[in-house]
Structure 1
């Protein structure tokens, strides 16, 4: 059982669980799966539900007693306590990317403490790439089901803002006029589209400088990517520059607008 004070150990435990759950995700991804609609009209597949069941079982063994807020169990009516330490789970972030079979979906797990992410893992199994963040951040190749070792990954950090203009990464499915206007106002000279939490990870590894998001997201969509970006030297802030916080129970964990910065300010 990892010590909750050892954020890197927690992040690598999340990575182990993400890799394990991704075996089932990829099995379904490579099949003729069916898509269903949830009560909120968002799409769901067997991959979301079966991967979440694996993740929840593993977390119950490795971090017993820590509440878990997971997308599919929340949709089924489960409401854990989130007024202290808790875990966020999105078993398939980027379900539209999963359905479209473009590979840009991820398995996400994050630890939240004092309303901020302190450890997380983002695994893109179809891309065979994993991102891990605790007090430091790493990324590297990984196939679903493989064991995760720090020695097989590279340390990643955000980059200095280039003098010639920033690169912004934006949602493949949800870029809107406000997002585009914000990017233009910041002097962005290049725009890159990506799906799921990979947008945070592109900023974390220095491939982009900023990820603005004004459309709606839920906390399980952002927690793991936020943790990786923090560990790599970045920050996620509101558009006004205040901390972007979690445990928003009264609004059913709906996020407001945020900007993920490689190098704040």
Structure 2
């Protein structure tokens, strides 16, 4: 039986907003940066926001496992079987450090290998995206409160061609070489999981990723995109799964290449990037 319901989504939204407030408090003062074993940066905001999210999830759904980025880095990895949360308390830490505003709070519920509910909150700019079994929404978050939910849905492919999104900090030659089977009218560069959400909101069309990511980087945005009528697939067009563990030579929860898109036609491309 699924636990994905409107009450849980409301709780995830509230928890993400609180984590966003914590992040903005740190963002307002000088940022101290440390580095994890994999050389990726981490800040005080990552840890404080994750602690708040873990506490909120335990209140909302006690006992459901949570795979959270900083906890995993510290060696705290609970067993997962069928249902669990994926949490990235600060997706886009490099963008946070650069102070360009392109970072998010990501929370997603995974059931049977698929993201069935997710929230992506961009504290700078106050955009919050949420998706679940009843559809996808965007709402504004300001110091005065939360605005009304506005339903969002992927758009039909524009006659002039698709808008393609690429990562600000992780672009690769394979991504630059990507050519979908339909025309591309323009490209945008943006950080964090906002790329999934812009496709979900009908502001762009396809996001190819041929570099490394982890499941907590993608799950929340993927949930919003799927709820808005889009899709995320492996590079060969097959389903994109979650809960990937125990693979020889691969880190647990590491993602292969993928394509997030508004339309199945965008998943096909004219050559095979490597």
Give the TM-score, by structure 2 length. Answer: 0.91
Q: How does 1:234-245 map to 2 (within 5 A)?
A: 234-245=230-241
Aligned-CA RMSD value: 1.6
Partner residue, 1:91: 89
Partner residue, 2:138: 139
- Check 1:27–1:207 CA distance in 2 against 1; reply closer, same or farther (3 A cut): same
CA distance in structure 2 between the partners assigned to 1:170 and 1:181 by the alignment: 12
Matched, 1:169 2:165: yes
CA distance in structure 1 between the partners assigned to 2:199 and 2:10 by the alignment: 20
Deviation at 1:22, TM superposition (A): 1.3
- Contact 2:2–2:111 at 8 Å: present in 1 too? no
2:56 to 31, 38, 58: 58
Partner residue, 2:175: 179
Deviation at 1:112, TM superposition (A): 0.3
Deviates more, 1:176-185 or 1:122-131: 176-185
**Equivalent position SS for 2:47:** helix
Deviation at 1:239, TM superposition (A): 1.3
Deviates more, 1:5-14 or 1:86-95: 5-14
CA distance in structure 1 between the partners assigned to 2:214 and 2:138 by the alignment: 24
The structure 1 segments of at least 4 consecutive aligned residues displaced by more than 2 Å after TM superposition are: 3-12, 143-146, 183-187
Partner residue, 1:32: 30
**Equivalent position SS for 2:39:** coil
Q: Deviation digits for residues 56-107 of structure 1, max 9, x if unmatched? A: 0111111101000000000000111122100000000000000000000000
Deviation at 1:140, TM superposition (A): 2.1
Unaligned runs of 5+ in 2: 266-274
- Contact 2:165–2:204 at 8 Å: present in 1 too? yes
Deviation at 1:172, TM superposition (A): 0.7
Aligned length: 260
Partner residue, 1:209: 205
**Equivalent position SS for 1:142:** strand
Deviation at 1:144, TM superposition (A): 6.4
Deviation at 1:184, TM superposition (A): 5.8
- Check 1:142–1:124 CA distance in 2 against 1; reply closer, same or farther (3 A cut): same
Matched, 1:198 2:194: yes
- Contact 2:8–2:60 at 8 Å: present in 1 too? no
Deviation at 1:10, TM superposition (A): 2.5
CA distance in structure 1 between the partners assigned to 2:224 and 2:180 by the alignment: 26
- Check 1:54–1:145 CA distance in 2 against 1; reply closer, same or farther (3 A cut): farther
Partner residue, 2:255: 255
Unaligned runs of 5+ in 1: none
2:99 to 98, 101, 118: 101
CA distance in structure 2 between the partners assigned to 1:81 and 1:204 by the alignment: 31
Partner residue, 1:10: 8
Give the TM-score, by structure 1 length. Answer: 0.94
Deviation at 1:190, TM superposition (A): 0.5
- Contact 2:103–2:122 at 8 Å: present in 1 too? yes
